[in-house]
Structure 1
Amino acid sequence: MTTERIDRNSVGLRSERGPILLAVMLSTGLVALDATILATAVPSVVEDLGGFTQFPWLFSIYLLAQAVSVPIYGKLADLRGRKPMILFGVTLFVIGSVLCGFAWSMPALIAFRLIQGLGAGAIQPIGMTIIGDIYTVAERAKVQGYLASVWGISSFVGPTLGGVFSDYISWRWIFFVNVPLGVAAAIVLRKRFAEKVAEKTKHQIDYAGAVLLAVGGSLLLLGLLEGGVMWAWDSLISIAILSVAVALIVAFALVERRAAEPILPPWVLSRRVLNSANATAFLIGLLMMGLSTYVPVFAQGVLGTSALIAGFALAAMTIGWPISASLSGRIYLRLGFRWTMLLGSAFVVLGSGILLTVSATSGVWQLAAACFVIGVGLGFSSAPAVVAAQSSVDWQHRGVVTGANMFSRSVGSAVGVAAFGAVANGEIAARLGGAHQDIGKLPADVLAPAIHDVFYVAAGAAVLLIVAVAFIPNRIPEKPLAAN
């Protein structure tokens, strides 16, 4: 076990927490804005650089790099401290953004998106870990609401900026806009985050575990993201990628059992509260991917709305999320974690039920209402899960458990891509006699039942969410913010 400690007073002073929170919100804003701003600019990017068949990799390579690096950064944050890791992440993200802005070809842009993803892998989990360090359980859910609001604001600002830059300036500014945000966040973190980590032992970095996790996790997510898209599920390349991924992950598990300071300690998988929180994150990632992918398609292809209206229907989810996330603290302080998360999962089930009633004759408001209710449920479920996981461990393990939670959500998103895509494509193939056709060009009478099948799977995942949160302890004694 590491013997590092952090001076509680160096990060716990109330006068310093405001600037630190602002810096974390600015850092999170980099990742949140990037998640929405690029999609609207893709046509301009392709027109300028070419490579239409390659553009999906702009998103896949970013998600891969971000997901597999999260647990590694989490462990390094526990060993070296939060400040150097989040500053490294912000710096890497800004460098990647500048390079993306100057990209001269689609392959170059994809390579620079990889750099961005590696930076993003440090920003979000370590930012949340810092929040866990400097705020108590009673305060943390309200602060989680602030962070969630960053994502809500970005869901509106991102597409708008992407459209404005693409139409009136240049798509390259969707990357250059990250520079002032990143620089401001880095300056505040350097000046106001006075972290002091005392080391008493020389650490043994788990290089073997890091490599196995990075390669095995990348192959697993690659197989799930691109299976049924770039290649058939039963193709040789798909089987080979997934088989090697499983073998490497098994090897990773064996290495972690013997490592002196493992990247992902085995005890993370043996604690009830962490297993429940990670299962919750997995299902939340899966549900978010299903909604993000298929709600806009249903709005445009079945209800006949514009892309803008379809985006606003989905954005209703990001309005409900920060509202409930900020309120959840008051509830779990009175009722406990389990009951708060059960309330959230009940909202998710209710919203999924409303989603199943949406038909070709429904108004888009009904679709938006379902997304809003689901967003409320996800806020009540996700924020307490992170707080519970962080509160169950002390400072030197908080980065690991936060990273594991974020990684679980990323894997859930990748599984959601695979599962929802297989369900929709299966229904479409059955109705078209096996003929393949672009989903954006399908008639409404084929598209509607295919997406409804996806909504049924999402409803099933919502029920499983109830099961996952039911296992989390209702009360968790808070570990100290630091060892004094």
Structure 2
Amino acid sequence: MTPSRASTSTDTANRNLAVAGVMLVIFLFAIDATIVSTSMPTIVAKLGGLELYSWVFSIYMLTSALTTPIFGKLADLFSQRRLMLIGIGIFLIGSTLCGAAQSMEMMIAARAVQGLGGGAIYALAFIIVGVLYPGQQRAKMQGIISGIWGLASVFGPLGGGVIVENWNWRWIFFVNLPLIAIATALIIVGLKEEQGEKRKPALDLAGAGALLVGLLLIFYALAQSAHAHHPLTAETAAIIAIGIAVLVIFYFIERRAPEPIMPLDVFHIGLYKSSTAVATLSAMGVFGAISYLPLYLQGVLGMTASGTGLVLLVLSMGWTAGSLLAGQGINRIGYRLVAIAGMSLLVFGYLLLIAPRAGAGALDVIIGSLAIGVGMGLANLTTLVAAQTAVSPHRIGVATSTLMLFRTFGGAFAVSLLGTVMLGRMQSALAQLKNSNTAVPPELWDKLANPQNLLQASTRAEIPVDLLAHLIPALGDALWYAFLTGFALMVIGIAAGCFMAGYTPASTPRPQK
């Protein structure tokens, strides 16, 4: 097999076509993560399966997380263009099946397929751009790609709402088809590859299998705990323990594999190791905020769903701006200072959420969301470019996908951790309130065990006024402790940023092996 890879010598016109195609498919992958949010009430009304609601979102991110490291490694061994087209093909099949779904179970299965293709697209988009552009240009282009991700997260819910209101909900998936065709044509025409030396690589099938099983178990447990009323169940702990045991087996497999799916020696490179730590911690910060700010805004401050959407829009736009700024900043002042600036903004954002012990006001949350978004953009782009530049050219694929895997795990872990903290505090408060409100029916207490139910008008209507007056501060207090946990993690992130080297992309020493 010939390990073909994108070429930096590709002429400008062809490179522009290829990058336009890559930008379009990364936009489609990112937008499909959020476009269903405003469409789900309509989809549930048509297909039923309300109890499976959350899995339409979770399964997409779960399966994309599984394929990201696999395709990242394959990109170092085989044709990157061919792998991108395979990923696009899987994504196309998934989109078609989503649009044709006749039940919620079919929808979840189709979203799983869509996520498998999306994970390949996600990894390969950043890998191809990383190969097509040298150091300084790479930072700028990766900033633009990251900015497109931020814009997609904004337009997803808006686009879903427009399509559902004016057409059939199935078109939120079918609209992908012509756009995928355009992107495919651009990549086929524009992406030229250099042919490497012919060889038959030894595929690490055992390592890939162990990694997939271990990640599947852990991500499933984290996703399940994020949706449960009692995250730390014995079943969840057992699944996580088994997943960790499988990953320990994976570690020993990788030590012996001739072509490991995740080469462990990349973690001997100081810049790569510190970049991975900062990327993981920054993802914890932003996904923790995205997951629990809506509950605070609506459940505690009484903001409407549209108002909450505008606050998250501020965060997303900040993410986009931070990515673009980082692309310029790391070329001038180096990785360390930009990463520290990003983590400092994340700390500042969380500080605004916890500084008023009685609870942050709307203005605090808006400014905090902007700071968190800009901070994530700075840290996200900086760690990506640093990781790609720290390794030899033939390892860009696995270095990129491994970083993305840690980032995804960080986000999933933070959602579960902050949820555990919040629910622990909330359940303590409910136990005290239950003793002094014996007239409240048991069914209502069961509903209140899940704080998300406080956002439903029907549930609030059942709650006595005097009890509601105690529940809202209790929820605010529980979320305060969750945000305090996030703040502590971001402080650790600043410390991790201090260990990043102060190189610029142009001055980074690069190993040849």
TM-score of the pair, normalised by structure 1:
0.94
Q: Which residue of 1 aligns with 2:153?
A: 155
Q: CA separation in 1, counterparts of 2:451 and 2:288? A: 15
> 1:331 is matched with which residue?
329
Larger Rg: 2
- Separation (CA, whole Å) in 1 of partners of 2:244 and 2:426: 30
- Worse overlay, 384-393 or 132-141: 132-141
2:202 to 201, 204, 209: 204
Closer, same or farther: CA 151–253 of 1 in aligned 2, 3 Å: same
Deviations 1:169-202 (A, max 9, x none): 2221111121122111111001110113323321
Task: Say whether the 8 Å CA contact 1:420–1:457 is kept in structure 2.
Answer: yes
Q: 2:94 aligns with which of 69, 93, 96?
A: 96
Q: Is the 8 A contact 2:230 2:423 kept in 1?
A: no
1:366 and 2:364 are equivalent in the alignment: yes
Q: Does 1:439 align with 2:437?
A: no
Task: Map 1:329-478 to 2 at 5 A.
Answer: 329-357=327-355, 364-433=362-431, 436=446, 437=448, 438-442=450-454, 443-475=471-503, 477-478=507-508
Q: What do the CA deviations read for 1:396-429 (whole angstroms, capped 9, x no partner)?
A: 1000000001100110111012101101101110
Matched, 1:115 2:113: yes
- Whole-angstrom distance in 1 between the partners of 2:174 and 2:124: 23
Percent identity reads: 35
Contact 2:5–2:195 (CA under 8 A) maintained in structure 1: yes
Change in CA separation of 1:258 and 1:350 when aligned onto 2, cut-off 3 Å: same
TM-score (normalizing by structure 2): 0.89
Give secondary structure in 2 for the equivalent of 1:96. helix
C-alpha displacement of 1:83: 0.8
1:248-305 Cα offsets, whole Å, 9 max, x none, are 1111111111111110011122221121111112112211221111111211112222
Distance 1:15 1:227, change over 3 A: same
Bigger mean CA offset, 264-273 vs 415-424: 264-273
Contact map agreement 1:337 1:384 (CA 8 A) in 2: yes
Q: Which residue of structure 1 lines up, in the alignment, with residue 180 of structure 2?
A: 182
2:190 to 185, 189, 192: 192
Could you tell me which residue of structure 2 aligns to residue 294 of structure 1? 292
Post-superposition offset of 1:358: 6.0
Give unmatched runs, 5+ long, in structure 1.
none
- Structure 1: distance between partners of 2:195 and 2:431: 63
CA 384–85 in structure 1, closer or farther in 2 if over 3 Å, else same:
same
- Match status 1:71 vs 2:69: yes
- Aligned positions of 1:109-148 closer than 5 A: 109-148=107-146
Moved more, 440-449 or 245-254: 440-449
Shift of 1:61: 1.6
The whole-number CA distance in structure 1 between the counterparts of 2:28 and 2:230 is 34
Corresponding position: 1:284 with 2:282: yes
- Report how far residue 229 of structure 1 moved: 3.5
Equivalent residue, structure 2, for 1:254: 252
For residue 213 of structure 1, what is the aligned residue in structure 2? 211
| 8 A contact 1:313–1:365 mirrored in 2 | no
RMSD, matched Cα? 2.3
Q: Distance in 1 between matches of 2:159 and 2:365?
A: 25
8 Å contact kept, 1:7–1:482 = no
- The aligned amino acid for 1:201 is R
Aligned length: 481
In structure 1, give the amino acid aligned to 2:213: V
Shift of 1:6: 4.4
Q: 1:164 to 1:330 in 2, by over 3 A?
A: closer
Any idea what SS the aligned residue of 1:40 has? coil
Supply the distance in 1 between the matched residues of 2:423 and 2:69 (Cα, whole angstroms): 33
CA separation of 1:239 and 1:267: change in aligned 2, threshold 3 A: same
* Offset of residue 203 of structure 1: 0.9
- Give the drift of 1:5: 6.5
Distance 1:75 1:24 in 2: 19
The residue aligned with 2:311 is: 313
Q: Is the 8 A contact 1:303 1:360 kept in 2?
A: no
- What's the secondary structure of 1:379's corresponding residue? helix
C-alpha distance in 2 between matches for 1:51 and 1:452 = 33
8 A Cα contact 1:133 1:481, kept in partner: no
How far apart are the structure 1 equivalents of 2:351 and 2:194?
A: 50
SS at match of 1:198: coil
Distance 1:427 1:7 in 2: 52
Look up the match of 2:302. 304
Give me the whole-angstrom Cα distance separating, in 2, the residues matched to 1:218 and 1:162.
Answer: 29
Deviation at 1:230, TM superposition (A): 4.4
Per the alignment, residue 167 of structure 1 pairs with 165
Whether contact under 8 Å (2:2, 2:195) holds in the other structure is no
Q: Which amino acid aligns with 2:451?
A: I
CA distance in 2, matches of 1:411, 1:264: 15
Q: Give the C-alpha shift of residue 234 in structure 1.
A: 5.1
Aligned position for 1:239: 237
Q: Alpha carbons of 1:479 and 1:202: their partners in 2 closer, same or farther (altered >3 Å)?
A: farther
Q: Which amino acid aligns with 2:485?
A: V
Separation in structure 1 between the aligned mates of residue 182 and residue 136 of structure 2, nearest angstrom: 29
Aligned with 2:39: secondary structure? helix
Deviation of 1:104 after TM superposition, in Å, equals: 0.8
Describe the SS at the equivalent of 1:95.
Answer: helix
CA pair 240-366 structure 1, distance change in 2 beyond 3 A? closer
| Amino acid in the other structure paired with 2:92 | V
Structure 2 unmatched runs, 5+: 433-444, 455-470
- Structure 1 distance, partners of 2:486, 2:360, is 19
Distance 1:161 1:481 in 2: 45
